[in-house]
Amino acid sequence: MCGIIGAVAVRDVVPILIEGLKRLEYRGYDSSGLATINGEQLERKRAVGKISKLEAKLKKKSLSSKIGIAHTRWATHGKANQANAHPHFSKDNIAVVHNGIIENHSKLRETLEKAGYEFSSDTDTEVIAHQIHYHLKQGKNLYAAFLASLAMIEGTYAIAMISPLMPDSLFAARRGSPLIVGIGVGEYFLASDAAALISVTQRVIYLEDGDIVELQRDNMTITDMAGNPVERIEHISKLQADAVERGEYRHYMQKEIFEQPQAIIDTLEGRIHNGRVLEAAFGPNAGELFSKIEAVQIIACGTSYHAGMVARYWIESLAKLPCTVEIASEFRYRKPLPNPKALVVTLSQSGETADTLAALAETKRLGFGPSLAICNVPESSLVRASDLVLMTHAGPEIGVASTKAFTTQLLSLLMLTVVLARRRGMTAETENQIVTAIQSLPRQIEKMLTLNDSIEKLAEQFADKHNALFLGRGIHYPIAMEGALKLKEISYIHAEAYPAGELKHGPLALVDDKMPVIAVAPNDDLQEKLKSNLQEVNARGGQLFVFANHSSMKQGFDYINVIETGEVDEIISPIIYTIPLQLLSYHVALIKGTDVDQPRNLAKAVTVE
Ligand code: M6R
């Protein structure tokens, strides 16, 4: 998704802007650009593709300035080309960068065109620049023109603006897209993501929706849309520079897969005591809120949605609470019947997914019960909008394909299940058994990671494939879905997941000797049933790749690869079986030579609808 970085300082800000853009690369983008003020002139460089292309342009003709804004663009309105890359100018005295979507941009554009403005891009952003200029022409000062333009915009935005009319001020505004001020010594920064500021400051202010900020070298003013001053608290960002470095690993995704044992340890820290999950880990008033709930409504997108689907099996079977799981983009428009006794659980790595935020807002509007966010980014919009919070301490996840965020979400959901189940009569003995299994997770994940080399070899058999089918049953069906999502996301192989019992109702028609069928087959109550489903594949010549506890699965099959996992405790087996599927998609993508960390067309945090 788009990223913003801005700076006003006593030193040259161009290297800071470039460094910030590089740190935003993981969000996904297709072009980038920056604008600075030189004397009374705006200057700009833009390039399609990687930041290195922008750097190459800067090498040819360098820019230097004490104020500037920069942007990585992920196309929404208009193609990924240089004309559409930000910053956008109006009449060479307004430069803006923008994240979000201006819903009424066509109408605004029409009016501005009638007023004589010529557009040089297809973007919704350019209307903002011209709109500000238009208000200037009506006699307003720059701040007033900025405010008047924001008032006309329908939709979401994080906007930064500079102008030679006030060459020492950087203006910005936030509504629905994250924006952070970084505080330096005699300098200020602006970014859409704390990661972009890591090399310049840890002191940050998270702007709220409706905030307008003016940054000067030695001064910051934050107001609301009516121009009234507002106070915002300063935080110390916990992001460490080395946490977002790749180190010895070839890709962030690989690093993040191998970091999972530590991510689990960090997520467990302080949450378990004397064999019990601490209810207070969910917030000081968790006990009071949990005591009133009679149902659970989970809402999330993508991988986070798959985590929610796993949790439904745990919550219904152990906590005996009805649990519904829904994709946020569907939920928000479905007109669901409100249940004031339902705990709304939102799951999100980024905490900035627009659909999840909107769905949460919808539950509040409709009158659902209290909300709990399970999230990986502290101070994110989702965290701030929720009554209760459980942070997954996975550390920054840079690879677009979610890995450690997923397994730590699962762990968090299992801890939630235990807390809810205890209130509904789960015995201390059962809780103790689950906690023991939970505590064995880092060791068991380490063991799964030793499958890396054999999975690397296995991946060779997928290199020429165009399709793949993933099968699972019960709680492992969502794990099959997650495996399919990982494979399609980074290797571009079309992959579908089915509950294995559903094969004969249609998908079996796809199976022939060219179709790899990957099955998640742990030693549980459904293993025998799954085996019969796999026989249906075998009989049609399908190539089976089965993740199972034991190689005895092989018996009775013609073409089968069994990847032995060893015995796994049933309650944590969805978490454990995720690991080999992540490794499989990673190695297939390596062989196919795709951009593993930034797969085409995708963004890390989907901050637009
Ligand atoms: O940040 P979130 O967890 O809210 O993101 C939701 C999805 O966009 C995300 O999980 C996406 O599906 C991943 N790229 C999958 O690997």
For the question of residue 61 being annotated catalytic, the response is no
Residue 530 is predicted with a pLDDT of 85
What would you report as the CA-atom Rg of the chain, rounded to the nearest whole angstrom? 26
Q: Which residues line ligand 1 (CB under 6 A)?
A: 301-304, 348-350, 353, 356, 400-402, 485, 489, 605-606
With beta carbons less than 8 A apart as the criterion, state whether 378 and 557 touch.
no
- Report the alpha-carbon distance of residue 333 to residue 329 in Å, rounded: 7
> How far lies 377's CA from each of 3, 183, 234, 299, 347, in Å?
16, 20, 17, 17, 11
Tell which atom from ligand 1 comes closest to the C-alpha of 604.
Answer: 14
Residue 531 is predicted with a pLDDT of 84
- Measured in angstroms, how far is the CA atom of residue 398 from the centroid of ligand 1? 12
For the record, the structure tokens of 113 come out as 């065109």
Residue 1 is predicted with a pLDDT of 67
pTM of the predicted structure, to 2 decimals: 0.77
pLDDT beneath 50, residues of the chain: none
For the question of residue 301 being annotated catalytic, the response is no
- Measured in angstroms, how far is the CA atom of residue 20 from the centroid of ligand 1? 22
**Tell me, what amino acid is at 16?**
I
From 304, 410, 485, mutation site for ligand 1 pocket: most ligand atoms within 8 A of C-beta: 304
Contacts of 208 (CB under 8 A, 6+ apart): 174, 230, 232
Helices and strands (DSSP H and E) totals, the chain: 19, 26
Residue 396 is predicted with a pLDDT of 87
State phi, psi for 184 to the nearest 5 degrees. Answer: -110, -165
**pLDDT tens digit string along 36-56?**
999 889 999 999 998 999 999
For the record, the structure tokens of 186 come out as 């005699």
From 402, 408, 409, mutation site for ligand 1 pocket: most ligand atoms within 8 A of C-beta: 402
Residue 351 is predicted with a pLDDT of 94
Tell which atom from ligand 1 comes closest to the C-alpha of 301.
Answer: 6
H/E run at residue 579: helix 573-592
For the record, the structure tokens of 583 come out as 């490794």
Q: Whose CA is nearest to atom 16 of ligand 1?
A: 401
- Measured in angstroms, how far is the CA atom of residue 232 from the centroid of ligand 1? 29
Tell which atom from ligand 1 comes closest to the C-alpha of 356.
Answer: 4
- Measured in angstroms, how far is the CA atom of residue 579 from the centroid of ligand 1? 17
CB-CB neighbours of 549 under 10 Å: 19
- Report the alpha-carbon distance of residue 19 to residue 199 in Å, rounded: 8
DSSP H stretches of helix in 245-334: 252-258, 260-268, 286-290, 302-314, 328-331
> How far lies 18's CA from each of 44, 125, 359, 561, in Å?
13, 21, 35, 47
- Measured in angstroms, how far is the CA atom of residue 379 from the centroid of ligand 1? 18
Tell me which DSSP letter residue 203 carries.
E
Q: Whose CA is nearest to atom 2 of ligand 1?
A: 348
DSSP string, 451-508: THHHHHHHHGGGTT-SEEEEEE-GGGHHHHHHHHHHHHHHH--EEEEEEGGGGGGTGG
- Measured in angstroms, how far is the CA atom of residue 228 from the centroid of ligand 1? 37
With beta carbons less than 8 A apart as the criterion, state whether 15 and 34 touch.
no
Residue 390 is predicted with a pLDDT of 94
- Report the alpha-carbon distance of residue 276 to residue 6 in Å, rounded: 46
Q: What is the β-pairing status of strands 94-99 and 157-162? A: antiparallel
- Report the alpha-carbon distance of residue 440 to residue 447 in Å, rounded: 11
With beta carbons less than 8 A apart as the criterion, state whether 319 and 349 touch.
no
Q: How far is CA 271 from the centre of its chain?
A: 24
Residue 243 is predicted with a pLDDT of 67
Residue 62 is predicted with a pLDDT of 84
With beta carbons less than 8 A apart as the criterion, state whether 7 and 63 touch.
no
From 27, 326, 353, mutation site for ligand 1 pocket: most ligand atoms within 8 A of C-beta: 353
Name which of 180, 223, 185, 224 is nearest 205 in CA terms: 180
3 state SS of 354 = helix
State phi, psi for 220 to the nearest 5 degrees. Answer: -135, 130
For the record, the structure tokens of 95 come out as 């430069």
Contacts of 99 (CB under 8 A, 6+ apart): 1, 2, 3, 4, 157, 158, 177, 192, 607, 608
